[in-house]
Amino acid sequence: MLWKPSKPGEPSWPSPAGITVEGRPGWHIECSAMAWKHLGEKFDIHGGGIDLVFPHHENELAQTCCAFHTDRMANVWMHNGFLQIESEKMSKSLGNFFTIRDLLTDWPGEVLRLSMLRTHYRSPLDWTLKSAEEAARTLDDWYAVAADAESGAPSPAMVEALYDDLNTAQAMAVLHGLRNAAASSEAGRKEFAGSLRLLGFLSESAAAWEARKQQASGVDAAAVEALIAERTAARARKDFKESDRIRDQLAAMGVVIKDSKEGTTWEIAR
Protein backbone atom coordinates (compact mmCIF):
# COMPACT_ATOMS: atom_id res chain seq x y z
CA MET A 1 0.00 0.00 0.00
CA LEU A 2 1.69 3.20 -1.19
CA TRP A 3 -0.82 5.64 0.31
CA LYS A 4 -3.13 5.06 3.26
CA PRO A 5 -6.23 7.28 3.41
CA SER A 6 -6.61 8.68 6.91
CA LYS A 7 -9.72 8.34 9.02
CA PRO A 8 -11.09 11.40 10.87
CA GLY A 9 -8.73 12.40 13.66
CA GLU A 10 -5.74 10.49 12.25
CA PRO A 11 -2.55 12.23 11.04
CA SER A 12 -2.82 13.18 7.37
CA TRP A 13 -1.49 15.51 4.67
CA PRO A 14 -2.01 16.03 0.95
CA SER A 15 -0.47 13.38 -1.28
CA PRO A 16 2.65 14.54 -3.18
CA ALA A 17 1.57 12.13 -5.94
CA GLY A 18 -1.71 13.98 -6.51
CA ILE A 19 -4.01 11.44 -4.80
CA THR A 20 -7.17 13.35 -3.91
CA VAL A 21 -7.73 11.80 -0.49
CA GLU A 22 -5.50 13.06 2.27
CA GLY A 23 -3.56 10.42 4.17
CA ARG A 24 -0.05 9.24 4.86
CA PRO A 25 2.48 6.84 3.35
CA GLY A 26 1.60 3.19 3.85
CA TRP A 27 3.46 0.93 6.23
CA HIS A 28 5.14 -0.96 3.39
CA ILE A 29 6.49 2.06 1.49
CA GLU A 30 8.22 3.47 4.55
CA CYS A 31 10.24 0.26 4.87
CA SER A 32 11.26 0.40 1.21
CA ALA A 33 12.30 4.03 1.71
CA MET A 34 14.39 3.26 4.80
CA ALA A 35 16.05 0.26 3.12
CA TRP A 36 16.91 2.40 0.07
CA LYS A 37 18.35 5.21 2.21
CA HIS A 38 20.53 3.02 4.43
CA LEU A 39 21.25 -0.08 2.31
CA GLY A 40 20.79 0.95 -1.33
CA GLU A 41 18.63 -0.29 -4.20
CA LYS A 42 19.79 -3.87 -3.59
CA PHE A 43 21.28 -5.46 -0.49
CA ASP A 44 22.26 -8.89 0.77
CA ILE A 45 19.86 -10.04 3.51
CA HIS A 46 16.33 -9.02 4.51
CA GLY A 47 15.08 -10.60 7.72
CA GLY A 48 11.80 -10.72 9.59
CA GLY A 49 9.17 -12.96 11.10
CA ILE A 50 7.41 -15.52 8.94
CA ASP A 51 4.12 -13.69 9.54
CA LEU A 52 5.45 -10.71 7.55
CA VAL A 53 5.85 -12.54 4.23
CA PHE A 54 2.35 -11.47 3.16
CA PRO A 55 1.49 -8.73 2.72
CA HIS A 56 4.35 -6.65 4.11
CA HIS A 57 7.43 -8.11 2.46
CA GLU A 58 5.69 -8.93 -0.78
CA ASN A 59 4.61 -5.29 -1.02
CA GLU A 60 8.11 -4.08 -0.16
CA LEU A 61 9.56 -6.28 -2.88
CA ALA A 62 7.04 -5.20 -5.53
CA GLN A 63 7.29 -1.48 -4.94
CA THR A 64 11.11 -1.45 -4.63
CA CYS A 65 11.60 -3.44 -7.84
CA CYS A 66 9.16 -1.14 -9.67
CA ALA A 67 10.84 2.00 -8.32
CA PHE A 68 14.36 1.00 -9.35
CA HIS A 69 13.58 -1.32 -12.32
CA THR A 70 15.46 -4.18 -10.68
CA ASP A 71 14.75 -7.90 -10.49
CA ARG A 72 15.14 -8.09 -6.71
CA MET A 73 15.28 -6.08 -3.50
CA ALA A 74 17.42 -8.43 -1.41
CA ASN A 75 19.57 -11.34 -2.47
CA VAL A 76 18.38 -13.48 0.45
CA TRP A 77 15.13 -13.35 2.43
CA MET A 78 15.33 -14.95 5.89
CA HIS A 79 12.06 -15.43 7.77
CA ASN A 80 12.24 -16.81 11.29
CA GLY A 81 9.61 -19.01 12.90
CA PHE A 82 7.46 -17.93 15.83
CA LEU A 83 9.00 -17.91 19.29
CA GLN A 84 7.16 -20.12 21.75
CA ILE A 85 7.52 -20.42 25.52
CA GLU A 86 6.97 -23.92 26.90
CA SER A 87 5.14 -24.79 23.64
CA GLU A 88 2.85 -21.74 23.86
CA LYS A 89 3.09 -18.62 21.73
CA MET A 90 4.88 -15.85 23.61
CA SER A 91 2.55 -12.92 24.26
CA LYS A 92 2.00 -10.26 26.90
CA SER A 93 -1.63 -11.34 27.29
CA LEU A 94 -0.50 -14.81 28.44
CA GLY A 95 2.01 -13.33 30.87
CA ASN A 96 4.89 -15.31 29.34
CA PHE A 97 6.62 -12.42 27.63
CA PHE A 98 10.25 -11.69 28.42
CA THR A 99 13.35 -10.41 26.67
CA ILE A 100 16.86 -11.75 26.14
CA ARG A 101 18.01 -9.22 28.75
CA ASP A 102 15.61 -10.80 31.25
CA LEU A 103 16.98 -14.28 30.57
CA LEU A 104 20.58 -13.12 30.91
CA THR A 105 19.99 -12.46 34.60
CA ASP A 106 19.66 -16.23 35.11
CA TRP A 107 21.61 -17.81 32.25
CA PRO A 108 24.95 -17.18 30.50
CA GLY A 109 24.54 -15.90 26.97
CA GLU A 110 26.06 -19.06 25.52
CA VAL A 111 23.27 -21.14 27.05
CA LEU A 112 20.69 -19.00 25.27
CA ARG A 113 22.69 -19.20 22.04
CA LEU A 114 22.90 -23.00 22.13
CA SER A 115 19.21 -23.36 23.01
CA MET A 116 18.24 -21.34 19.94
CA LEU A 117 20.78 -22.77 17.50
CA ARG A 118 19.45 -26.28 18.04
CA THR A 119 16.43 -25.36 15.91
CA HIS A 120 16.50 -24.18 12.30
CA TYR A 121 15.60 -20.51 12.26
CA ARG A 122 12.62 -21.02 9.91
CA SER A 123 11.01 -23.47 12.36
CA PRO A 124 9.10 -22.53 15.52
CA LEU A 125 11.60 -21.74 18.30
CA ASP A 126 10.42 -23.23 21.58
CA TRP A 127 12.14 -21.83 24.69
CA THR A 128 11.73 -24.16 27.67
CA LEU A 129 13.42 -24.46 31.03
CA LYS A 130 14.32 -28.04 30.14
CA SER A 131 16.05 -26.96 26.94
CA ALA A 132 18.07 -24.34 28.85
CA GLU A 133 19.15 -26.90 31.44
CA GLU A 134 20.14 -29.36 28.69
CA ALA A 135 22.12 -26.63 26.91
CA ALA A 136 23.90 -25.75 30.15
CA ARG A 137 24.91 -29.38 30.73
CA THR A 138 26.12 -29.68 27.14
CA LEU A 139 28.23 -26.55 27.52
CA ASP A 140 29.68 -27.86 30.79
CA ASP A 141 30.94 -30.85 28.84
CA TRP A 142 32.18 -28.81 25.86
CA TYR A 143 34.08 -26.45 28.16
CA ALA A 144 35.69 -29.34 30.02
CA VAL A 145 36.83 -30.91 26.75
CA ALA A 146 37.83 -27.97 24.57
CA ALA A 147 37.86 -24.60 26.35
CA ASP A 148 41.60 -24.64 26.93
CA ALA A 149 42.48 -26.21 23.57
CA GLU A 150 44.10 -24.32 20.74
CA SER A 151 41.64 -23.66 17.93
CA GLY A 152 42.08 -25.55 14.69
CA ALA A 153 40.24 -25.02 11.41
CA PRO A 154 36.46 -25.41 11.79
CA SER A 155 34.98 -28.66 10.57
CA PRO A 156 34.18 -28.53 6.82
CA ALA A 157 31.01 -30.52 7.51
CA MET A 158 29.81 -27.88 9.97
CA VAL A 159 30.62 -25.01 7.63
CA GLU A 160 28.76 -26.82 4.85
CA ALA A 161 25.70 -27.09 7.10
CA LEU A 162 25.80 -23.33 7.72
CA TYR A 163 26.00 -22.68 3.98
CA ASP A 164 22.78 -24.68 3.62
CA ASP A 165 20.35 -21.89 4.58
CA LEU A 166 22.07 -21.49 7.96
CA ASN A 167 21.15 -25.04 8.98
CA THR A 168 22.25 -24.73 12.60
CA ALA A 169 20.33 -27.87 13.60
CA GLN A 170 22.59 -29.91 11.29
CA ALA A 171 25.62 -27.99 12.55
CA MET A 172 24.74 -29.06 16.10
CA ALA A 173 24.63 -32.70 14.97
CA VAL A 174 28.11 -32.27 13.47
CA LEU A 175 29.37 -30.77 16.73
CA HIS A 176 28.22 -33.78 18.72
CA GLY A 177 30.19 -36.02 16.36
CA LEU A 178 33.23 -33.79 16.75
CA ARG A 179 32.88 -34.03 20.53
CA ASN A 180 33.31 -37.79 20.34
CA ALA A 181 36.37 -37.46 18.09
CA ALA A 182 37.88 -34.85 20.44
CA ALA A 183 38.14 -37.45 23.19
CA SER A 184 40.55 -39.60 21.19
CA SER A 185 42.94 -37.19 19.47
CA GLU A 186 44.47 -33.75 19.93
CA ALA A 187 43.77 -32.91 16.28
CA GLY A 188 40.10 -33.72 16.85
CA ARG A 189 40.10 -31.56 19.98
CA LYS A 190 41.51 -28.60 18.05
CA GLU A 191 38.93 -29.00 15.27
CA PHE A 192 36.18 -29.22 17.88
CA ALA A 193 37.42 -26.06 19.61
CA GLY A 194 37.69 -24.15 16.32
CA SER A 195 34.19 -25.18 15.30
CA LEU A 196 32.74 -24.10 18.64
CA ARG A 197 34.45 -20.73 18.56
CA LEU A 198 33.17 -20.09 15.03
CA LEU A 199 29.65 -20.29 16.47
CA GLY A 200 30.45 -18.00 19.40
CA PHE A 201 31.09 -20.60 22.09
CA LEU A 202 34.09 -21.04 24.42
CA SER A 203 34.42 -17.32 25.05
CA GLU A 204 35.81 -18.07 28.51
CA SER A 205 38.40 -20.43 29.98
CA ALA A 206 37.28 -23.68 31.56
CA ALA A 207 38.14 -22.27 35.00
CA ALA A 208 36.13 -19.08 34.41
CA TRP A 209 33.13 -21.10 33.22
CA GLU A 210 33.25 -23.27 36.33
CA ALA A 211 33.66 -20.22 38.56
CA ARG A 212 30.59 -18.64 36.94
CA LYS A 213 28.57 -21.74 37.80
CA GLN A 214 29.78 -21.67 41.39
CA GLN A 215 28.95 -17.99 41.79
CA ALA A 216 25.49 -18.40 40.27
CA SER A 217 24.74 -21.35 42.55
CA GLY A 218 25.40 -19.34 45.71
CA VAL A 219 27.48 -22.22 47.09
CA ASP A 220 30.21 -21.21 49.54
CA ALA A 221 33.40 -22.65 48.02
CA ALA A 222 35.28 -22.43 51.33
CA ALA A 223 32.55 -24.41 53.09
CA VAL A 224 32.64 -27.07 50.37
CA GLU A 225 36.42 -27.39 50.65
CA ALA A 226 36.12 -27.75 54.43
CA LEU A 227 33.54 -30.52 54.09
CA ILE A 228 35.66 -32.33 51.53
CA ALA A 229 38.64 -32.16 53.91
CA GLU A 230 36.47 -33.64 56.68
CA ARG A 231 35.32 -36.39 54.32
CA THR A 232 38.89 -37.16 53.29
CA ALA A 233 39.86 -37.49 56.94
CA ALA A 234 36.88 -39.76 57.60
CA ARG A 235 37.82 -41.99 54.67
CA ALA A 236 41.41 -42.15 55.92
CA ARG A 237 40.24 -43.49 59.28
CA LYS A 238 37.75 -45.78 57.48
CA ASP A 239 34.72 -44.04 58.96
CA PHE A 240 32.64 -44.66 55.84
CA LYS A 241 29.36 -43.83 57.57
CA GLU A 242 30.62 -40.29 58.22
CA SER A 243 32.10 -40.11 54.73
CA ASP A 244 28.73 -41.00 53.20
CA ARG A 245 26.94 -38.48 55.40
CA ILE A 246 29.21 -35.67 54.21
CA ARG A 247 28.80 -36.78 50.59
CA ASP A 248 25.01 -36.62 51.00
CA GLN A 249 25.30 -33.20 52.64
CA LEU A 250 27.30 -31.93 49.69
CA ALA A 251 24.79 -33.40 47.27
CA ALA A 252 21.99 -31.57 49.08
CA MET A 253 23.97 -28.35 48.53
CA GLY A 254 24.05 -29.08 44.80
CA VAL A 255 27.68 -30.21 44.78
CA VAL A 256 28.92 -33.25 42.87
CA ILE A 257 32.19 -34.79 44.05
CA LYS A 258 34.58 -37.04 42.12
CA ASP A 259 37.20 -39.20 43.78
CA SER A 260 40.42 -40.16 42.00
CA LYS A 261 44.00 -41.14 42.79
CA GLU A 262 44.90 -37.44 42.74
CA GLY A 263 42.25 -36.58 45.32
CA THR A 264 38.68 -35.31 45.40
CA THR A 265 37.36 -32.65 43.01
CA TRP A 266 33.96 -31.04 43.01
CA GLU A 267 31.59 -29.13 40.73
CA ILE A 268 28.12 -27.62 40.79
CA ALA A 269 25.38 -29.93 39.58
CA ARG A 270 22.98 -28.69 36.95
Q: Please say which residue of 15, 47, 80 terminates a domain.
A: 80
Within this chain, do residues 195 and 222 fall inside the same structural domain, yes or no? no
Structural domain harbouring 68: 3-80
Write the DSSP string, 1-41: --EEEPPTTS--B--TT--SS-EEE-HHHHHHHHHHHHH-S
pLDDT of residue 97: 81
Given a contact cutoff of 8 angstroms between Cβ atoms, the answer to whether 140 and 211 are in contact is: no
pLDDT for the residue 270: 65
186 and 264 in a single domain? The answer is no
Residue ending a domain, choose from 188, 209, 230: 209
Same domain membership, residue 242 and residue 197:
no
Q: Which tens digit of pLDDT belongs to each residue from 178-190?
A: 999 998 999 999 9
The pLDDT of residue 262: 85
User: How many folded domains does the chain comprise?
Assistant: 3
What is residue 149's DSSP assignment?
A: S
Could you tell me the pTM of the whole model? 0.77
150 shares a domain with 230: no
Closest Cα partner for 172 from 144, 196, 147, 153?
196
Regarding whether 194 and 134 lie in a shared domain, the answer is yes
- pLDDT value of residue 60: 95
Is the domain of 142 the same as that of 256?
A: no
Are both 112 and 192 inside the same structural domain? Answer: yes
Task: Judge if 53 and 97 occupy the same domain.
Answer: no
Per-residue pLDDT, 53? 96
Give the chain's residues under pLDDT 50.
none
